[in-house]
Structures are given as C-alpha cells and as structure tokens.
Amino acid sequence: MSVEQFADRHIGPDPDAEARMLEAVGYATVDDLMDAAIPETIRWHGQLDLPPAASEAEATAELRALAADNTVAVSMIGLGYHGTHTPAVIRRNVLENPAWYTAYTPYQPEISQGRLEALLNFQTMVADLTGLTTANASMLDEGTAAAEAMTLARRASTNRSPVYVVDADTLPQTIAVITSRAAPLGIQVRVLDLDTEALPADYFGLHLQYPGASGAVRDHQKLVDAAHTGGALVCVAADLLALTLLRPPGEIGADIAAGTTQRFGVPMGFGGPHAGYLAVRAGLERMLPGRLVGLSRDAAGDPAYRLALQTREQHIRREKATSNICTAQVLLAVVAGMYAVYHGPDGLRAIARHTHTTATRLAASLRALDGVHVVHHEFFDTVLTRVPGRAEAVVTAAADHGVNLRLVDADHVGISCDETTTDAHLRQVWRAFADTTDTTGTTGVADLPDAPPTALPATLLRTSDFLTHPVFGAHHSETAMLRYLRRLADLDFALDRGMIPLGSCTMKLNATTEMEPISWPAFADVHPFAPAHQTTGYQRLIAQLEGWLAEVTGYDAVSVQPNAGSQGELAGLLAIRAYHVQRGHGHRDVCLIPSSAHGTNAASAVMAGMRVVVVGCDTDGNVDLTDLDTKIDTHRDALAAIMVTYPSTHGVYEPGIAALCAKVHDAGGQVYVDGANLNALLGYARPGHFGADVSHLNLHKTFCIPHGGGGPGVGPVAVRAHLAPYLPGDPTGDHGTDRPAISAARHGSAGILPIPWAYLRMMGPTGLTRATAVAVLAANYVATRLRAHYPVLYTGNKGLVAHECVLDLRPLTKTTGITVDDVAKRLMDYGFHAPTMSFPVAGTLMVEPTESENLGELDRFCDAMIAIRAEIDQVATGRWPTQDNPLRNAPHTAAMVTADHWPHPYPRSVGAYPDGVDPKNKYWPPVRRIDGAYGDRNLVCSCPSPQAYED
Ligand SMILES: *Cc1c(COP(=O)(O)O)cnc(C)c1O
C-alpha cells in the first residue's frame, strides 16, 4: 500500500479488515459481493472516464492553480453580497473546526446542545434586529427565503387574490427566484415601481426591499398600512447590518422579514453558502417553514434545547408540507450568530456606522465631481450615481484599479461600502470617476470629508434596543469567545468523536485536504457577480466538477446551482414540467411517489405544481409494481413523472427498477431518481443509463461536503440531454427563458465546491468504485453481525442489503415496551449517534456505516447494539421494570449518576459505563432525555432569560 493513495485514507477498513469482513459476510472478494448484491439489470460494466487519482499534495497544488486563476478584487458591487471580516477566532474555531462542521442536523437534541444554543443565538439575533418575534434557524439564501415568505403570506392571507406584488427596487436575483417559484403555484408576480406606480386593487402579499437594491432608504410605512387594509401580508427583505441603525421591519408593521446574514462574517464564496433568514410576527410562528430551535426541558426538569414544532415537517405532512426545506445553512448560521455574539450590539452598531460613514464620505467626494450625480439622498451603504453614457467606462476604470463596482445600466453605477472598505478603496473609486468624467475644477485628489452628515432619514432611525440578552455581552474578548466556542463544541457529538451511522444521510469522512481550500481568499472572497474574467478559476473548477458528476451518473448535463437536495428536486421536477409544456403536454401534472419516499419528494412535487399520487410498497419494501400499473392506468394521460429513490430508502437494490422506468416511459412520464443514495452506486451503476431522466445528488452526502450540523449542502441536478434546456439559469441574466432561478446565485454554494472536486480528484475512478464496494460491505457486515439480535427488515438478492440496513425494533417494542427512541438514546450512553429513526418505516433504525468507518468502529457499534439487546432482554424477563431501566432512563448525565440519591434498580455504573465503555474515553450527554412536546406547548424560540434557568 502506497502512502500516497488518498483512497486508503478515506476508506476505513484496511485490506486485512476487509478480508475479515468479507469472511463474515460469506464472500471471497468484494467483486463477488457486488456481483451478488447489484441486479444485472442496472449494472454498468464500463470504466469511469475520470482522471486517475491525484495525491493530496497534487490535488492541493491543482486547486491552488485554479484559485490563482481567480482575481480577488475589492468588492463594492453589493446587491446582497458584501465584504466582511470573519473574526479569526470564529474562522478557525467554527468554520475550520470539525467539531462544528462534521456534526449532523440536531435531531438527537441531547447530544446537540452546543449547536442548538448557537442556533438559538442566531434566531435571537434575527428576531431582535428585525423587530419580529420569531426567526427560524436559517434559510438557504435571500432569494429562497423571500420565496418562502411569499408562500407563507399566501397561506396566512385572508385575501384570495393570486397576485403577489414585488417592489421593483428588490434585488434582481430575488425577483428571479420569487418568479420561478411563483409560476408553478399559479401565483402572479407583479413587479411595480412603488415610487410611481399604484398598488393593484387586490393582492395577497407585498414584498419590499429595505434598503432598496439601489441603495435608497424609503419609509415603507404607508405601503405596509395599505397592504394590511386589503388583508395582504408584507414581507420586508432587510439588511441586518442596516437594521442596527434603522427602524426595523417589525416596527413598521411588517409581518415577515427575509434576507441573508452573509455580511455577518460569512465570506461571499462566489455566491454561497450563506445563511438566509426568515422571521415572523407573533401569530405566524406555527407557519414558519424549516427548522426552528426552541427551549424545552429534560427528564430532570432542566432547560434543554431541541428542534421545535415542524422539525421533520416533510416527513410528517409530505405533500401538505409548507415547504420542502430540509438541509439548511446551519454552519453559516452559527458563524453569523457568533459574529453577533463576538461584536455585541455596540460592536455591530460601530460596524454599521463605519459602513454608513464611508458611503456618505464617498458620496460627498463624488458630488464634488462635475458630471456625477448622486441619485438618492437617503441611503445606508450604497451610493447610486448617474453618469450619463459613461457607466461602463467608470466600472472598467475602477476594475483597473482593483475595485469592482455595480454596472446598473449605461447611465448608472452603484457602489456599496462595507466593513472592509478603507480610505484607499474610496480614493480608487473616486479616481475611476474622476478619470472618466469631466474633471474640470478638481484637484486630482479625492476630497474625503471626515464626517459628512448622516444620510439616514431622521424619521427612520432606530430607537429600540437589540441583543440585550447577556450572551451578546459576555464574549467580547478573544479568550472568552474561544472558551465559549470550545464549551459549546464539547457538548456535542460529531464525526470527530465517533461514528454517525445515519441511514440515507451518508455521514462519511470530510477530509481536511478537501476542506482547507474553502477558506483560501481566492475562493472565499469572490463576489458572485464579479466580472467573468476574474472568475476563470471558479468556472474551470465548476465545469470540471459538473463534467465529472455527469460521468459518474451517466447523465448528459449537470447544474450545481441548487443549494440542497430539496432544491435539486425542485429544479429537476421543473425541468420535467417545462419539457412536457414544450411538447404540448402541459396537462401532465401527476407525480407518482412511492410510500417509502423521503418527505422532501412529495413537498417538492407540490412546489413544482404537481399532484402527488402515492404508490404502495410490497412486503419486501419494493415499489409494488402491480399498484404502479394501476396508478399508471388511472392517470395515464396526466402522468408527468415518477420519483423514486435508488437504491430504495429500504436499503436494497430493487431489481424492478428497469421495468419501473420502462412502464412510466411507456405512459409518457419521466423518471426522477432521487440520488441521495448514490454512495451505493458509484462505479457500479449509473442512473442516466438504467432508465432515469433526471436525478439530484447530495454533495453533502456522497461527495464529502460536511453536514455542518444541518447544512450547508449542494444538491446538483443532473439530466439527460432532452431536459438540459430546462436546467437552472442565471438568476441575474436569464429572464424570460425556460431556465428557472433555483438559487440566488448562478452557481449556488460555489464556495464549497472545492470539497467534492477534491474528493473526486483524489479518489479517481478506482478509489470511487472501491469506496462503493466497501460501503456495501460495511452495511452487510453490520447486518450480518446484528441479524441474530434485531431482524433486518428488508434484503435483496441473496439476502444482501445495499449500503444501509433497516433494523426492525417493532417486535421487541411489542413484547417489552422498549422503543426505537429508547435504543437511540441508550446509544448515547455507549458513545454513539443513533442511526436514522423511524424512516422509512416507523419503529425501525436505519444504519448506514459508510466506507469511512474502520472495522474497530464498526465492531464497537455492533457490540453496543448487541449489549443493548441484552439489556432489552432484562426488561423482557422482568428483571428491570419497563418504566425504570437503563434504556428508558437514557441518556444518563454525569449529574444523574453522581447524584446522592439513586433510586433505580440497576447500578450507577450500568447507567454511566455500559458494557465496553471506557471511563477514560467517555462522552457525557449534557442533558437528560428531552420532552419535545412540552416545548411545543410552551414555545420559546429565542434566548431564554437567565431566570428561566432558575426554577
Ligand atoms: C437527504 C435526502 C433528501 C433531501 O436532501 P437535502 O439536501 O436535505 O435537502 C432527499 N431524499 C433523500 C432520500 C435523502 O436522503
């Protein structure tokens, strides 16, 4: 084995371990195993046409060369993306810290208290700054947050009109995303210049930008009042930094606020990832889409955080879900929230004042130039100038000085200031104007006044306090901040502590070499609308990545724009819709979805304007082909698509997939294969070849982008050639085409694409194929070891599973009362994150070990599960009562097992150090089992007052 091979680092089991696992499963080689597991109908016997594996050093060098092809200019383009200083203590200890970035979505709240607290800080920050009562724990970006606000308004409005009014001074990419989302839902978007055009008679909602995209700060009060009179709801897309100085949306009566938190310490990253936000007034909190963190209490009555209300909304409500959002932007929300914690309210105000003062100084110096007109008198950070006929020349001259400005049109240039703007930048901007305009009367030097009068309207100055909670005042020194971040990280269980065997989520290695490039300035500090010649490195990286993803999936074209799997689903379904419409089949609107599907599938279908028809599954977990025939017959003329996951969410390779694709095609429908389980296929089967028309991939599953505690992700959409014309377009440049805007930025979360690029580059065709085989081997090894203790619910060919296996707890629950929840919580005592619970079948656990876990860790997990089975047996025999045993009382905290009072019928040591747990290497859950329902009845979704902890 050469130490140069990255694949040997990425793949956990070494050849010796692999041999032992094969022996346990009963196969001589991995090839034999894969031949037996994968149905020949889907098997692909070709060789992946990818460059051979590069070493870590080589891949890093290639990425450095790509980065060097990007030009990092001073960005004053604005339009929702601004320069910001990521505090180094946050960059190193959050963004670059695996304790934060390798964590999973906090569905197991007892072992996620650190990031839940960080997210509660984020929610509090957003709610305080917007002046609204409740904010959720991040949206995907400003455009999609605004689109979610639109659908929320529609649900909540008493006005039945289909019209949604959008102020023309809204970010153009936001208008594009809103418009793309509105069309399939029958919502009519009216973009109106509300300075000059009147509101229509009837509309259900109104979207305003504050400050406007042009920089103008307007008093929206009258518009808000007018909208409310007609029963419409108002969403204000607001800049949080401006809100430290300006009256917040909540104080002018806005119902909803939406936007981005990018400029709170999150690098631009050529468009993302950043945390969007969504906040609502009292009364709308139960309609908020996405994740909401709230306070509840644990079994000891102590306060504890967990996800509130509609946490897994899509899984529960499916086609009735309010939104398809699943993976969000948690890691970036944590960064933004910590930025507010580190700076505190005074620090944020100071940053805002700096930003504003630089803008007013620039405006004053430009006003002194003949031929330059400053359009708006009232602005926060953006100066809009009129330079008739010379805008392009000004922008070019500024670019020559290393500064990017916004070319609005032939006559207008926009300049946005931010935290990073210096006097030197202002002088370069001034010079670009002076050199291209009539300079008579100038001295040739910018006259930058020290403190010109404010350009904020006196009537809109903020008078209310914000961020008054002690957390925003306690961590301003770097030492305090460092310790706060460490303390929270220590509360949590992430991949840096142990295995997270979550079925369908593919929690595999996020290699450091893959991660490092994302904070290089040449990738991090690029504005998404920077001129193309400055971003050639990014463009090459993206083109290569899209090409490689097309190759491994067997599709013809790929777009990386969707910034989560759910968004890829929407993009793929919209492509199907557009294809049918184009062929005169616009009436095809039925989407068949098996009952086993991930909840996002149904929610996405509804968002794409489709009707969901559920297809049943047989007792083996496969799509019931007889029921499929029936449903196709019933809906033949209206059939738009089927959406299936492959391998299925039951963890088996369904042999019927090729037949299924043929049946749907024969009826004129398209086949959407949800690619979340691609980790079981790479190198062995390609959806684009076995009959599918379109898939989304989850780069945060198969391709090593870390889950970040619930995001970021990237959900590329991959299609066969006939759907390629309908792939996502450029949100700022493709108006009026068939290409929808799925995200606000053309390449979505481009800033993290170096991760999958590096993974593919370092694994090469052989490494990728071997990873798939080892992932399948690991799942079968676990299934083999655990089968005698827990039935494996579904198996395919020769009794084999694919890359995950479903353990059936229901028979044990029936006889002992011990539930899947009890087992999940008990695993915490053993030092594990639970497998996926009750998906796709209630009462089961779905285990996906991935190829990255070595045999020692796989055995530790199996041993724990076997020991837990023995504990269940103690309940079965009556030795331990159903209501008082180590499972029901799990997880055990240090406080609980060291308490002077111990009333339980088993020793403290059994609670704390169950079989095999090394006391020197013990992870202590910080809270006991959390009562979720209590928190839902008593909803608290911002930082609780310190007194809340007293009683
Ligand atoms: C994870 C997953 C999704 C949703 O992807 P997100 O990135 O979380 O939006 C869809 N389908 C399946 C089968 C999944 O496992």
Determine the Cα–Cα distance for residues 136 and 313; give it in Å rounded to an integer.
14
Tokens linked to 863: 């041993």
Encode pLDDT of 566-594 as tens digits: 999 999 999 999 999 999 999 999 999 99
Assign 860 to helix, strand or coil: helix
| pLDDT band at residue 438 under the 50/70/90 scheme | low
Whether the per-residue pLDDT at 735 is higher than 80: the answer is: no
**Closest Cα partner for 528 from 77, 144, 95, 209?**
77
- All domains of the chain, ordered by start, with CATH? 72-498+918-950 (3.40.640.10), 517-760 (3.40.640.10)
Radius of gyration of the chain (CA): 28
Share of the chain above pLDDT 70, in %: 97
Give me the pLDDT at residue 442, please. 58
Distance 566 CA to ligand 1 centre (A): 6
Quick one: average pLDDT of 620-649?
95
CA 378 from centre of chain: 35
Angle, to 10 degrees, between the axis of helix 113-130 and the axis of helix 478-491?
A: 120
Give me the pLDDT at residue 736, please. 63
Give me the pLDDT at residue 443, please. 61
Give me the pLDDT at residue 927, please. 98
Whether the per-residue pLDDT at 425 is higher than 80: the answer is: yes
Say if residues 94 and 334 touch (Cβ distance below 8 Å). yes
Give me the pLDDT at residue 1, please. 44
Q: 862 or 286: whose pLDDT is higher?
A: 862
Give me the pLDDT at residue 649, please. 85
Distance 422 CA to ligand 1 centre (A): 43
Whether the per-residue pLDDT at 522 is higher than 70: the answer is: yes
Distance 564 CA to ligand 1 centre (A): 8
Q: Is the dihedral of CA 506, 509, 510, 514 positive or negative?
A: negative
DSSP characters over 607-636: HTTPEEEEE-B-TTSSB-HHHHHHHHHHHG
Determine the Cα–Cα distance for residues 683 and 851; give it in Å rounded to an integer.
14
Q: Is the dihedral of CA 579, 585, 590, 592 positive or negative?
A: negative
Distance 117 CA to ligand 1 centre (A): 25
Encode pLDDT of 865-921 as tens digits: 999 999 999 999 999 999 999 999 999 999 999 999 999 999 999 999 998 899 999
Instruction: Mean pLDDT check: name the lowest of 104-108, 174-178, 445-449.
Output: 445-449
Distant-in-sequence, close-in-space partners of 479: CB < 8 Å, separation ≥ 6: none
Residue having the nearest C-alpha atom to atom 5 of ligand 1: 565
Residue having the nearest C-alpha atom to atom 4 of ligand 1: 565
* DSSP β-ladder status, 163-167 and 557-559: unpaired
Pocket test for ligand 1, best of 148, 331, 504, 714 (most atoms within 8 A of CB): 504
Quick one: average pLDDT of 281-296?
93
Q: Which residue is associated with the tokens 């914000």? A: 466
Taking every pair of C-alpha atoms in the chain, what is the biggest distance, in angstroms?
A: 97
Encode pLDDT of 316-366 as tens digits: 677 788 889 999 999 999 999 999 999 999 999 999 999 999 999 999 999
Residue having the nearest C-alpha atom to atom 14 of ligand 1: 676
Q: Mean pLDDT over all residues of the chain?
A: 95
Residue having the nearest C-alpha atom to atom 7 of ligand 1: 565
Distance 188 CA to ligand 1 centre (A): 29
Pocket of ligand 1 (CB under 6 A): 326-327, 504, 564-566, 598, 600, 645, 649, 674, 676, 698, 713, 715
Encode pLDDT of 117-164 as tens digits: 999 999 999 999 999 999 999 999 999 999 999 999 999 999 999 999
Quick one: average pLDDT of 289-293?
92
Give me the pLDDT at residue 948, please. 65
Determine the Cα–Cα distance for residues 209 and 235; give it in Å rounded to an integer.
9
Whether the per-residue pLDDT at 312 is higher than 90: the answer is: no
| pLDDT band at residue 734 under the 50/70/90 scheme | low
